Copies of this chain bind each other. A is one copy, B any other.
Amino acid sequence: MTSPSVKARFGSSLRKLRDERGYSQEELAERAGLHRNYVGGVERGERNVALENIIKLARALSVPPRELFANFP
């Protein structure tokens, strides 16, 4: 798996979970204590998200962190 698809895959997983909850990027960012632009960058596959922000995003979505990796083989 080449690097870009890892970040893109994570980004699409985040977007899917966010959409399922009907949150805007802004709302998710606020819940996670992160900047809206940062969340947008993650969803566009531009960010190599670190562990602590992965957990913040999972908590903001009320899912266990492993859900964010459900689309990884």
Contact = CB atoms under 8 A, between A and B. Distances in A.
Interface of A: 1, 3, 6-7, 10, 47-52, 54-55, 58-59, 64-67, 69-70, 72-73
Given A66-B69, A69-B69, A51 B52 contact: no
Oligomer copy total: 2
Given A49-B50, A49-B51, 4 more contacts: A1-B59, A66-B66, A66-B67, A66-B72
Contact of A52 (B6, B55, B70, B72): B6
Nearest to A10: B51
Contacts of A65: 69, 72
Given A69-B64, A69-B69, A54 B51 contact: yes
